[in-house]
Structures are given as C-alpha cells and as structure tokens.
C-alpha cells in the first residue's frame, strides 16, 4: 500500500498502542496513529494529518475486532472524551501501562539496569474517582451537565450519570442541574465567549460520605442560593459545603481560581491509611482513594526507613504523603509552594496528633538551599511527588545538592520521570527499582514509584 493522502480512508490492522492510547498501524515504513482503535483491530481509518514518516487519523469503521476488545459498559463511550480505553480488556490495559513505563525509561531516560515490578492493578475499575469536573452545556431541555465531547473543545456531551463516580456524587450533580434550569441563567458559550454557568467540580469521599461542590461561573453572583442549599441539604445530606469560583478567561482550566464560600465549609474529610485528612476544594489529592493508599504504601516501602531518618517530602501539598511517612521516620519536613496547602497540612498534622512532621512554604527550585542555611537538617531520604511536568532541571539540581542517600520519586508521567532519571543518574544516583501503579482504569494515565540510590563512589 502506498503512502496515504490526507483525507483518504485506508484499511489497516492495529498492532499496538502508542503513549496516549492511540492505535498504531504500519503501512510499509509509514506509521499511522489511529484514534478509537485497539490492538488486533482491523479498521477503516480516515487520515487527518500527515508528516513525512507518520500520520494521524481515526477509525471510521470497525471491520474486525481484536482479541482484547470488550463491550464498553458506559453508554457514553466513544462520544464522551474520557475513558478512551474502556473497550480494552482491563488486564491488557494494565499490561500496556506497565510497558509504557519501561519504554519511557529505556528510550527517553536511557535506563536499562533497573528492576521493575508487575503493575499494581486497580482494585476497582468503575466508581473509583473521588473528584470529577463537569461542564455545563446548553440543550433544548435547558442547562445540562456533562463532559467534553471526544476531540472537541467547544462541545459538551450531556451525561446522565458517570460510571466513575458514586451515587451520592451523581445525586448532587442532578440537584445542581435542576437548580441551573430553574434559574434560567445562560450557559457559557465557548465559541462566543458569553454566558455564565461554566463548570461543576464534585469532590467526594465514599469513606466519610462527605461531598464538597464548587460552581465555576463567569463573574456575577449566584442566583437562588437558598433553593440550592435547601435541596442539597434535603436530597444530598453528605454535601458539607458549596463554593463559588469565578473566571473571566476563555480557557477551561479550573485550578487556582479565586473562590468564596456559598454555604457550609470549604473542606471535606477523607480517610487514608488511618489518617483523617481535611481536603480543600482546590487541594491536590489522588483521585482514586483506594489506589492512593497502595501508592503511598509502596513509597513508604521504597523509602526503607528504620525510624531515625530525616525525610524531606517535596511538593507536599496538604501533607498526605508526609503524614503517612511520619510513623516510620524520625522527622519529616514537607516543602510546598502554596501557602494555603501548607496551612491545611499543618492542620492535618494537628488533627492526627503527629508531632514529628513540619511543613514549610517554599519553591523546590529555589528554597531548599536557604532552608538548610536556616538550620533545617539535611535529609537522609527525599520523597518527591511533582506535577505531570516533572522536576525542572533547576529543581533536580537542588535535590542533588541535598545529597540524600535515597530518592523516592512518585510519578504520574513516565516520560517526565525518564528525563529526570537521566539527570539523577548522571549526578551519581542509580535507578534501582520501579513499581507501576494503575490509579486510573480505562485511561492512558499511569503512576509509578521509582527508587534511586546514591552510589557510594559518587
């Protein structure tokens, strides 16, 4: 078969998945990345983009299903932009994710001598999320709450219940949707840049039964707040608070927006490894509570603590990892840029009666050296849990200057972990062990814990 033309349709067989979850087909030496296709599938694909050696497209027709294709349980699958791997057998999902971790470290990080465990598969593949971000859409029935349509930034697919959330969260969603229709206010039009209602963020704990809601709108006061509060209290008694966040920008990002309390309180309680955690609306916490526990257990195991060590937890957030480490360490110091998160972490330490942990405000790329100069003890072990972008080169240098004997790296992105791994190894560390964890079934995302040891001769 010759190299396809843009806009043409070709019949191909998918032989693997690329990072991100797209199917990979080969036409002689030409590679075609195909959305909506899984390994073993024979599909008809429309070519949408062309480069010299590869192209992109999407499957328009499934001609023959691959051996690992299953029936997706969600009626919104394929239309909703989430859960792109739901039609792939879960065991195959987990195997592929583990391979993505290994491939990233070998191809990008040039690491080959490390040990790698089997992936810790998710205990539940549905109903596992403790946080969901919905968007409002305008429909003939009035404002409707849903998710972005697959591949579209400007279209929202109405969702009558998401299989990734529990019944209590879905009930709260339904009440807010009813409130939105009752008020008659306009939904934000993403193309025109007009309207009011934008997003609903639901945070929920199935362990405490508590929910915290945030309504994100264009500027202006929320209407009929009294009705909303009364209905939520009657029909969703687990709701402990509602916040109102405002954005006048055109983007869809909801993080870091200024917010005010509408009623109730601005945090809900989660239980994790025996800890009580107060979680703010904008605070970072892994969105799969059960697998978060497994992730933290693995991080503690890889820290190899005897009880006397000084541990620095970088990007400590509301203190969840630091507090989990405290029982096995002599002293734990959490470093976090956001002052609000540090205040919450200190509150969580007091709530749990943990006295050998302290939290300080600081940018990891700038604050570590001054903290040592101000008298904090150097760490024996450093634990890092950075954002998806990983550690910046400057942050890597600051960690290396601390010279811990061991670094435990909790990563949500194997490609950025790989780049950081190469820098750490060049500085005298050895990547010893990697342990993947599947936090997010039916998506391409994968977490892992990597342990680096300082080479004695370095």
pLDDT in tens, 264-319: 999 999 999 999 999 999 899 999 999 999 999 999 999 999 999 999 999 999 99
pLDDT at 456: 72
Per residue, the 3-state secondary structure of 200-235, as one string, reads EEEEECCCCCCEEEEEEECCCCCCCHHHHHHHHHHH
Residues 186 and 106 in one domain: no
Residues 227 and 152 in one domain: yes
- Domain C-terminal end among 248, 272, 296: 272
Q: Which two tokens stand for residue 153?
A: 């930034």
**Does residue 266 form part of some domain?**
yes
**Residues 66, 20: Cα–Cα separation, whole Å:** 19
- Domain C-terminal end among 213, 243, 272: 272
Residues 294 and 441 in one domain: yes
DSSP 282-305: T----SBHHHHHHHHHHHHHHHT-
Weakly modelled stretches of the chain, pLDDT under 70? 1, 457-458
Output phi, psi for 62, to 5 deg.
-90, 110
**Does residue 277 form part of some domain?**
no
Residues 318 and 382 in one domain: yes
**Residues 433, 14: Cα–Cα separation, whole Å:** 32
- Domain C-terminal end among 23, 43, 64: 64
- Domain count for the chain, please give it: 3
Residues 100 and 219 in one domain: no
pLDDT at 1: 54
Output phi, psi for 330, to 5 deg.
-80, -45
Query: What does the DSSP 8-state code read for residue 80?
Result: B
pLDDT at 458: 43
Query: What is the CATH number for 416?
Result: 3.40.50.150
Output phi, psi for 225, to 5 deg.
-65, -35
Residues 176 and 227 in one domain: yes
Strand order in the sheet with 331-336: 115-116, 429-437, 447-454, 406-411, 381-384, 310-314, 331-336, 357-361
DSSP 119-170: PB--S-SSS-BSEEEEEEEEETTEEEEEEEBTT-SS-EEE-S--TTS-HHHH
pLDDT at 258: 87
CB 268 within 8 A of CB 241: yes
Q: Which two tokens stand for residue 297?
A: 């257990």
**Does residue 177 form part of some domain?**
yes
Annotation marks residue 412 as catalytic: yes
Residues 112 and 169 in one domain: no
The tens digit of pLDDT for each residue in 117-176 reads 999 999 999 999 999 999 999 999 999 999 988 888 888 888 878 999 889 999 999 999
To the nearest 10 degrees (0 to 180), the angle between helices 90-107 and 414-426 is 30
Can you name the residues that pair with 453 across neighbouring β-strands?
Answer: 406, 430
pLDDT at 445: 95
Query: What does pTM read for this prediction?
Result: 0.94
Nearest Cα neighbor of 451 from 344, 329, 304, 334 is 304
Residues 187 and 58 in one domain: no
To the nearest 10 degrees (0 to 180), the angle between helices 393-402 and 414-426 is 50
Count of other CB atoms within 10 angstroms of residue 36: 20
**Does residue 325 form part of some domain?**
yes
CA angle 29/30/36 to nearest 5° reads 135
Establish how many alpha carbons lie within 13 A of residue 228's alpha carbon, considering only the half-sphere containing its beta carbon.
Answer: 26
Residues 301 and 410 in one domain: yes
Q: Going by C-beta distance under 8 Å and a sequence separation of 6 or more, which residues neighbour residue 1? A: 10, 27, 28
Nearest Cα neighbor of 436 from 97, 100, 119 is 119
CB 69 within 8 A of CB 94: no
Residues 249 and 293 in one domain: no
Domain of residue 101: give its range.
Answer: 94-124+288-454
Residues 170 and 251 in one domain: yes
**Does residue 438 form part of some domain?**
yes
Output phi, psi for 17, to 5 deg.
-115, 140
Residues 135 and 194 in one domain: yes
**Does residue 81 form part of some domain?**
no
Query: What is the CATH number for 51?
Result: 2.40.50.140
Query: What is the CATH number for 163?
Result: 2.40.50.1070
Single out the catalytic residue among 74, 80, 83, 412: 412
**Does residue 86 form part of some domain?**
no
**Does residue 71 form part of some domain?**
no
- Give the burial string for 2-13 (b: 16+ CB within 10 Å, else e): eebeeeeebebb
């Amino acid at each position: 078969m010759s190299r396809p033309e843009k806009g043409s349709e070709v019949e191909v067989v998918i032989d693997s998945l690329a990072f991100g979850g797209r199917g990979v087909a080969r036409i002689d030496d030409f590679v075609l990345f195909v959305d909506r296709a899984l390994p073993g599938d024979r599909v008809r694909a429309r070519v949408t983009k062309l480069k010299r050696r590869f192209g992109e497209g999407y499957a328009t027709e499934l001609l023959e299903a691959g051996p690992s294709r299953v029936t997706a349980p969600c009626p919104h699958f394929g239309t909703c932009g989430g859960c792109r791997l739901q039609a792939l057998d879960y065991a195959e999902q987990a195997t592929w994710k583990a391979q993505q971790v290994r491939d990233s470290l070998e191809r990008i990080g040039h690491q080959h001598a490390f040990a790698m465990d089997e992936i810790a598969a998710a205990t539940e593949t549905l109903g596992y999320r403790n946080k969901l971000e919905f968007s409002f859409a305008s429909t003939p029935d009035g404002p409707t709450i849903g998710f972005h349509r697959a591949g579209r930034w400007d279209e929202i697919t109405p969702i009558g219940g998401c299989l990734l959330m529990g019944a209590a969260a879905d009930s709260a969603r339904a009440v807010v949707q009813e409130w939105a229709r009752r008020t008659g206010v306009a939904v934000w039009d993403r193309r025109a840049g007009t309207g009011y209602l934008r997003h609903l963020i639901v945070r929920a704990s199935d362990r405490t039964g508590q929910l915290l809601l945030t309504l994100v709108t264009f500027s202006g006061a929320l209407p009929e707040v009294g009705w909303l509060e009364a209905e939520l209290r009657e029909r969703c008694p687990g709701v402990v608070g509602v916040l109102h966040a405002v954005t006048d920008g055109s983007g869809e990002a909801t993080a870091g927006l200024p917010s005010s309390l509408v009623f109730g309180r601005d945090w809900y309680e989660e239980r994790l490894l025996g800890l009580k955690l107060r979680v703010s609306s904008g605070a970072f916490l892994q969105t799969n509570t059960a697998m978060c526990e497994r992730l933290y257990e693995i991080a503690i195991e890889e820290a190899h603590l005897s009880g006397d060590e000084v541990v620095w937890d970088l990007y400590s957030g509301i203190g969840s990892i630091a507090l989990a480490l405290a029982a096995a360490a002599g002293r734990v110091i959490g470093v976090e840029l956001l002052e609000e998160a540090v205040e919450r972490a200190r509150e969580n330490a007091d709530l749990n009666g943990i006295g050998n942990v302290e939290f300080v405000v600081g940018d990891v790329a700038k604050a570590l050296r001054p903290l040592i100069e101000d008298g904090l003890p150097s760490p024996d072990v450093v634990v890092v849990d950075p954002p998806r972008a990983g550690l910046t080169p400057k942050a890597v240098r600051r960690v290396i200057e601390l010279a811990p004997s061991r670094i435990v790296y909790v990563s949500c992105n194997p490609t950025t972990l790989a780049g950081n791994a190469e820098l750490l190894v060049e500085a005298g560390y050895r990547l010893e062990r990697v342990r993947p964890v599947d936090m997010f079934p039916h998506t391409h995302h994968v977490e892992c814990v990597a342990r680096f040891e300082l080479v004695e001769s370095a």
